[in-house]
Amino acid sequence: METFASSSISRRMGASSDEPHVLAVDDNLVDRKLVEKLLKRSSCKVTTAEDGLRALEYLGLASHQDGSTNSNCSKVNMIITDYCMPGMTGYELLKKIKESSIMKDVPVVIVSSENIPTRINQCMEEGAQVFMLKPLKHSDVERLRCQIMQ
């Protein structure tokens, strides 16, 4: 399900090199290492965050930050986030991103170890690009990269 306009993507592509920049959010150390490697193998630049708050801070969207803070918003081409995280779930992070006028067109991918239809529907309705099951494979990430590079 594509939720972004091609014009906003080409603007982002123009600002960066050939490598899409992905922000990967996961509270699990092993999973963070794995997703980072998978993304690098698919020629993406990667920034990782261990929870939703740090992800928002990186993007300059945290409530304690004002819009003039030097943020990394314009550099990020995609966000991949785990669903189950302490503090702020992936769903809550998705909502905050979609509420932002700057970031709302950036594709957000939700990953989860649990296949729960109500959870999936909830995320898709909120504008998630796609919902994927963990553990992610190389083929999953390759497919994602193709989608965001269109």
Partner 1 sequence: MEIVAKLQKQFMEFISALYREGFLDDQFLQLQKLQDESNPDFVFEVVSLFFEDSEKLINNLAAALQQPVVDFKQVDSHVHQFKGSSSSIGAQRVKNACMAFKSFCEEKKIEGCMQCLQHVKHEYFLVKNKLETLLRLEQQILAAGGRIPDLS
Q: What is the DSSP string of 27-82?
A: S-HHHHHHHHHHHHHTT-EEEEESSHHHHHHHHT-STTS-TTS--SGGG--EEEEE
Near partner 1 by CB under 8 A: residue from 33, 67, 72, 99: 33
Between CA 142 and CA 119 the distance in angstroms is 24
The residue among 137 and 143 lying less far from partner 1, judged by its C-beta, is 137
Would you call the peptide bond into 20 cis, given omega within 30 degrees of 0 as the criterion? no
Choice between 11 and 138, CB closer to partner 1 = 138
9 burial (CB, 10 Å; 0-12 / 13-18 / 19+) is buried
By CB under 8 A, the residues from 90 to 149 that bind partner 1 are 113, 134-135, 137-138
Which is nearer to partner 1, 67 or 135 (by Cβ)? 135
Residues 36-65 close enough to bind partner 1 by CB under 8 A? 37-38, 41
Q: Does 1 bind partner 1 (CB under 8 A)?
A: no
Give least dist CB 117 to partner 1, A.
19
Q: Which two tokens stand for residue 14?
A: 């123009």
Give the integer Cα–Cα distance in Å for 5 and 139. 25
Provide, rounded to whole angstroms, the least separation between the CB of residue 26 and partner 1: 9
**Residues in the site for partner 1, rule: CB under 8 A?**
27-31, 33-34, 37-38, 41, 84, 86, 113, 134-135, 137-138
